[in-house]
Amino acid sequence: MKVKSKLADIDFEFGHFEYKKDHLIIHSHPDQSMQSKVYVSPDDVVSALGKAIKLPMFWAYMTGFPFFLIRYRRRKAAKAKAKS
């Protein structure tokens, strides 16, 4: 996952998940140079889902997801092969 902000552009790789005080805590992968945590509250989940289901682009992405996944993995493999 790419995270872009005014402070930094980060490739966030998921590490382990933790549950603490009604929050889902997503830790970055241990191999990442900048360790980070994402705190997700129940309200965050409800808010994100509420906004997402109202957007036609969300449904288009979900419908085409299997195609996007296959295409993404093929491009990624081709790029890795070209580097080798």
Q: Where are the extended beta strands (E) located within 22-73?
A: 23-28, 37-40
Task: Write the pLDDT tens digit of every residue in 1-51.
Answer: 787 888 878 788 899 999 999 999 999 988 887 788 899 999 999 999 999
Please name the amino acid found at residue 5: S
Task: Write the pLDDT tens digit of every residue in 45-64.
Answer: 999 999 999 999 999 999 99
Please name the amino acid found at residue 60: A
Spatial separation of the C-alpha atoms in residues 51 and 25, rounded to whole Å: 21
